[in-house]
Structure 1
Amino acid sequence: MPFHLAFKIRKDTSSNVIDMSKSNECLSICTSRNISTKYRKALYFLMNGNQPSLLAFDARAPSNHSIAAALATTPSKVEWLLQEIPENGADVAHLNAVHSPSVVTGLAEKYPFLLNIIGSHVWSATWNKGEGHIADLTLTHDYKIMKCNLFHIDVTVQQIGPGFVRLFLKTPLGPLLVSQSVTPLGPLLQKVIHRVFSPAYNAPWAALVVYNEAYMFERDVAIWNNKIFVGAPAYVKADKTIRAFRSWFSQFYSENSKSFKDAIQNPLEW
């Protein structure tokens, strides 16, 4: 299994070079590497047992997104493989299968004849492999009541490395940025935190998005926590993007990565 750590780095105001061997420039664990940057960066170390590989990326929120308006959801625990969490983006078919029921009320699930009156979420998405450790997803959302499509949202998603995702939302009430970080706590235990950033004037809307996003995410958690591992699954045509995602994600595994069998048999060896 891939293992990563996220770091925040303070930039030396007198230079564009961060010397990571100096503890006063790091907010967390440091190494002997240097990176050249103009911005605050978030870093991933992929632990392969030897010299770790480093993935650096611009971690800034858009300039019009106030950090003061940042809201975080309650961390979620996922008792399954780390890979399954970002794979959701490539599993386009699951969006309408799992996330179509309204977050407003669950009555439509109990009484299907109310579906057109209460409304439902309608999704469409396209996943693409990017360069190196980056993958991209374009997503659209509409809330459909009767024959009316309401509350259109365009989302641009960027998967960075094995465990960090940024979602840029263009909504009728203003722009939002949602970040998702996944931290392994054990071979089959992941900690997931979502943070929502918005312009300060839009904080009430961001708070509502936090609630809705957490509600949707818990639907996925219920599935992940009850999955059964299949070593060589049979793919159908609709699974084309899932297969492409798994090929892309394989770069984050190494010869030292735990196998699923080892994780099950030796859960305490971590």
Structure 2
Amino acid sequence: MMGVHGFKLHLFFGVLVAVIIAVAFGNSSPQLIRDRIRETDNPFMQSLLDMLENPVETARFFVSQVTLFSLIVWPLIIYCSIRIMRVMFEPLHVERKAGDMGYIMDDGRSKMEIANEMMRRRRPGNLPPVYPNGWFSVGRSMDLKKGDIWYKSMLGLELAVYRGEDGEARILHAYCPHMGANIAVGGRVKGNCLECPFHGWSFEGKTGEVQSIPYASKIPSNAKTKHYKCLELNGIIHLWYHAEGEEPSWYPPDVKDIQAGKMKYHGKTDHVVNAHIEEIPENGADLNHLTHLHEPILFTGRDLRHTTGGLGQYMSHLWEGEWHQDKDISHIGVLNLKTKIAVLGVTLPAIEINAKAEQVGPGLVYLHIFLPIFGEALLIQTVTPLEPLLQEVQHTVFAVPGMPRILAKFALWAESVQFERDLMVWNHKTYEAKPMLTKEDHLVGKHRRWYSQFYSENSPRFQFKKKDGLDW
């Protein structure tokens, strides 16, 4: 018979060879096929024919090769192969819940216990209004299927988000004006309306008007609930919020390549940050923190206690950047960024990445990452206030067709690592209304003046009360 390696090789290519035989000798008799194979004097084909003609002997040989070593090694090889395939070809999905990241877990308490204690102990500072005016993400389009309903609490609002049978997303006030039931909990999508689970009142999502009441002979003329302006764009469901109830004065950019499907989806990450919303986009103008917090090579991890040790002593990121307000569109701030890698202080000329981040309003960022040879990856960041000092931050990455998925996923993973370094600071810091700045920090003040345009007279504020604790 054949050796062990020959057997495994034949087993691997068996199906392929069977197909070849079927094609080559499809109209021949079995005996003629055997004769033709014998005539070829091909060892590989001869061995295969031996296997087919002596199935009992082949089975005995296979059993004789099953050892403890092979029982361990082959499953391990299969597992590793599956993992590699997933890394190469499946989108990256990372979800961090409140308390998962940015806290030190050294005293045996749970993540949530430490997170809640830090929220109680932290001095909030003299905060700006907690809910700025603008477009905010309610969630990703891909996650809301036809007939789905979300109950969402954000911006001090209680919302019922659903997708009608026509495929459009709609947003209503969550509580039924009839008797106060939450229509997002147990409600049903009927056509393009949302039906209350309590008495069956049916609301149209674009107007808030009641379309039917099962037991009523007539619908009252004032029977309606509050509805919210909803915009689905670039794979995100947006809600317009304004403290004075004004109509939108601007809209997020329409990325045509995403809408047309030319830029492909490659992954997403979700985080929860215990901080004021303005702290997060302010990072874009704080260029000096890049050369300290984000200098250690990203492979050193997220925990700031350890990033400067190990590999961080020998490899580092070098950053150059500048931030400015867009000269034509006042609600857009622009960060141009360049990063290189240095080993033992020597810059690697072949590794240079350029990026452009557009801060669109108070809660949207479009980060364009330009990679040599492969083109552009677009990373969309959304920041949504769930509570006054609790932000939901989502990142979604798209890339041009020529970019391998693993490269787009690496860009998203790298952003996630760097973001989680900031998260460790945000979760513990206080907001300084009058920071002690040097002249090199002037962009921080410039960014705060730019961001203030998103607050108005009635924007909700957060107050610290000694007796009652935190309130707003």
Q: CA deviation at 1:52?
A: 4.1
Q: Structure 1 residues 65 and 208 mapped into 2: Cα distance closer, same or farther (>3 Å)?
A: farther
Q: Structure 1 residues 139 and 233 mapped into 2: Cα distance closer, same or farther (>3 Å)?
A: same
What corresponds to 2:242 in structure 1?
47
Map 1:1-270 onto structure 2 (within 5 A): 1=130, 2=132, 4-6=135-137, 26-29=168-171, 30=206, 45-60=240-255, 62=257, 66-73=262-269, 75-105=270-300, 109-111=308-310, 115-116=313-314, 119-130=315-326, 131-146=329-344, 147-149=346-348, 150-172=350-372, 173-201=374-402, 202-261=404-463, 267=470
Q: CA deviation at 1:68?
A: 4.2
What corresponds to 1:14 in structure 2?
none
**TM-score, normalised with respect to structure 1:** 0.79
What corresponds to 2:112 in structure 1?
none
CA RMSD of aligned residues (A): 3.4
Q: CA deviation at 1:132?
A: 1.9
Whole-Å separation in 1 of the counterparts to 2:425 and 2:437:
19
Q: 2:294 is aligned with what amino acid? A: H
Conserved? CA contact 2:266–2:409, under 8 Å: no
Conserved? CA contact 2:277–2:391, under 8 Å: yes
Q: CA deviation at 1:178?
A: 0.7
Q: Structure 1 residues 263 and 169 mapped into 2: Cα distance closer, same or farther (>3 Å)?
A: farther
Q: Structure 1 residues 220 and 263 mapped into 2: Cα distance closer, same or farther (>3 Å)?
A: farther
Partner of 2:450, secondary structure, is: helix
Q: CA deviation at 1:207?
A: 1.3
Conserved? CA contact 2:136–2:239, under 8 Å: yes
Moved over 6 A (4+): 31-34, 39-42, 263-266
What corresponds to 1:16 in structure 2?
none
Q: Number of paired residues?
A: 250
Deviations 1:228-259 (A, max 9, x none): 23332232201211101000100111222233
Whole-Å separation in 1 of the counterparts to 2:401 and 2:394:
21
Q: 1:110 is aligned with what amino acid? A: G
Q: 1:84 is aligned with what amino acid? A: E
Whole-Å separation in 2 of the counterparts to 1:46 and 1:225:
25
Whole-Å separation in 2 of the counterparts to 1:47 and 1:266:
27
Q: CA deviation at 1:185?
A: 0.4
Whole-Å separation in 2 of the counterparts to 1:220 and 1:123:
16
Partner of 1:57, secondary structure, is: coil
Q: 1:211 is aligned with what amino acid? A: W
Partner of 1:222, secondary structure, is: helix
Partner of 1:255, secondary structure, is: coil
**TM-score, normalised with respect to structure 2:** 0.47
What corresponds to 2:118 in structure 1?
none
Q: 2:137 is aligned with what amino acid? A: A
Whole-Å separation in 2 of the counterparts to 1:168 and 1:263:
43
Conserved? CA contact 1:69–1:199, under 8 Å: no
Q: CA deviation at 1:260?
A: 3.8
Q: 1:191 is aligned with what amino acid? A: E
Deviations 1:69-102 (A, max 9, x none): 33111x1111010001111000011111111111
Larger Rg: 2
Q: Structure 1 residues 257 and 60 mapped into 2: Cα distance closer, same or farther (>3 Å)?
A: same
Conserved? CA contact 2:228–2:240, under 8 Å: no
Partner of 1:90, secondary structure, is: coil
Unaligned runs of 5+ in 2: 1-129, 142-163, 172-205, 208-226
Conserved? CA contact 2:337–2:355, under 8 Å: yes
Q: CA deviation at 1:157?
A: 1.1
Conserved? CA contact 1:46–1:252, under 8 Å: no
Percent of aligned pairs with the same amino acid: 29
Partner of 1:69, secondary structure, is: strand
Q: 2:342 is aligned with what amino acid? A: K
Unaligned runs of 5+ in 1: 10-22
Conserved? CA contact 2:257–2:263, under 8 Å: no
Q: CA deviation at 1:193?
A: 0.5
Whole-Å separation in 1 of the counterparts to 2:265 and 2:236:
20
Conserved? CA contact 1:6–1:45, under 8 Å: no
Partner of 1:205, secondary structure, is: helix
Partner of 2:169, secondary structure, is: coil
Whole-Å separation in 1 of the counterparts to 2:336 and 2:436:
26
Conserved? CA contact 2:463–2:470, under 8 Å: no
Whole-Å separation in 2 of the counterparts to 1:41 and 1:54:
19
Partner of 2:367, secondary structure, is: strand
Partner of 1:109, secondary structure, is: coil
